Amino acid sequence: MWNIYLRAKEISGCGISGIIHRKGELIPGEMIIKSICCQYERGNGLGAGFAAYGIYPEFKDFYALHVMGQCRESLERVEEFLHKRTYVSFQEPIPTRRVKTIKNPPLFKRYFVRPKFEGEIVEAEDGQSEDDFMVNLVMEINEKISGAYVISSGKNMGVFKGVGFPDEIAEFFRIDEYQAYIWTAHNRFPTNTPGWWGGAHPFTLLDWSIVHNGEISSYGTNKRYLELFGYKCTLLTDTEVVAYILDLLIRRHGLPLELACKVMAPPFWIEIDEMDEEDRELYTALRMVYGGAVLNGPFAILFAYNGGLVGLNDRVKLRPLVVANKGDLYVMGSEEAAIRTILPDPERVWAPKAGEPVIVEMEEATIPNQKSYLKVRPKEEREDALRIGSYPLSLFTSK
C-alpha cells in the first residue's frame, strides 16, 4: 500500500525549499535538510541538491568553483585549464561521507580562483568584466572538457547535488556541517529529462542558483535565444535555461528584478490590452523584445543570489508555492508542511499569486559581496545590448 501511495504522489513532481535571514544570521544546515525531507514523496531518488550562501568567508573575494568529474583525468584537464586562465588561491576535494545507497559517485573538487587577465586582474583590455570572464570560462569547461562540469561558480557560495533522495545527498555532502544565510534545496522527480548527477538541481551561474518544480516547455526556444548571447546549455535539463536568462536580463541588461520576473512570467496579451497607456507600452515592449526569454509550462521556482531570495510561479499557477515569515526569517516551499516543520509559529503564511514574484532582500550592507537588484543597474554595470529595435532603455526603467 505504501508503494502505491508513493507512485500516486510522485506525479505531482519535485519539492523545493528556501530559507533566508534578512539580517544575515547564519542558518544551520539541519534546518534546510528538515524542510526538504518533509517533501520526501515529491521525489523518486533521481536527484536532490542544496545551494548555500556565506559558507566560504575566508575566500569571500574569490569565485568558488565546484567541479564534478567523472574520472581523475577529467579533473586534471580542468586543473590544467584553470591554471592557464585563472589564479588558483586554494583547491581541495569537497568533503563527503560514504552513503550505502549512493554507488560510484563522481569526484568533486572546489577551486577558489580569480581571472587571469593581461596585467591587472580587475578588468580586461577589451572591457570584459570579471563576471563575463567567469561565465565564458564556465561555458568553455562544460562544453569542451569531456566528463567535467562546473556545478557552481559564485563568490562565497556553493552547490551540492547528485542522484539520490535529499537525505542521502545531505549525508553524502555533509550539509549538516555548513551554516549559511541563504539556503535553497530540491527533491527531484525527473519527468522528461535524464536523472543524472549534473542534471540535479540547483542550477547555477555565478551566484545565481535555481531550484524548480514543474516543466519548462519552452526550453527549445529559450535555449536557441540564449545561444545568441553566448550561453551554452550542456546539462540536459530544462531548468538550466532559467539561470542563464536571469544572468542575461539582470546582470547584463540591467533590468530590475521585478521586471525580469515579468519577462519570464508575463501578463497575457488580453491583460496588457486592458492596462493604462503607460503600463501597456511597458509590457508590450517587454513581450516584443524578450519573447525568447518567456518561460512556458507549469513551474514554481526559487532563485537566490548574494543578498536575496525570490519565489515565482508561472502565470497560471500550475505548481504550488507557499511563503511564510517570522521576523527577519523567511521560508518558501512547495508545501506549508515544509515551512511549519522548521517554523512552527510563523507570523504570516501566504500563497503568492500567479506570476507575482516574492522578493526578499537582505538589509543593506549586511554581507560581503552583497547585491541588490530592485532598481535598474548603473550603465557602467550593464551591457548596452538592451538598445534593441525602437525600444529605448528608459522605457524599461521608468517604473
**How far from chain centre, in Å, is Cα 97?**
25
φ and ψ at 285, to 5 degrees? -65, -45
Residue type at 124 in one-letter notation: A
Tell me, yes or no, if 14 is annotated catalytic: yes
Peptide bond before residue 202 is cis, with ω within 30 degrees of 0: yes
| Closest to 107 measured CA to CA, from 93, 86, 124 | 93
Gap between the Cα atoms of 168 and 175, Å rounded: 10
| Closest to 310 measured CA to CA, from 373, 259, 360 | 360
H-type alpha helices, the chain: 2-10, 29-37, 72-85, 130-144, 166-173, 219-227, 240-246, 257-264, 269-273, 277-289, 336-340, 393-396
Outline where DSSP puts E strands in the chain: 15-21, 27-28, 48-53, 63-69, 86-93, 107-115, 148-152, 157-162, 179-180, 182-187, 203-205, 208-214, 299-305, 308-313, 322-326, 329-333, 348-350, 358-361
Gap between the Cα atoms of 32 and 333, Å rounded: 11
| Closest to 230 measured CA to CA, from 216, 209, 255, 247 | 247
- CB of 257 closer than 8 Å to CB of 310: yes
Catalytic residue among 14, 37, 38, 233: 14
Q: Give the residue numbers marked as catalytic.
A: 14
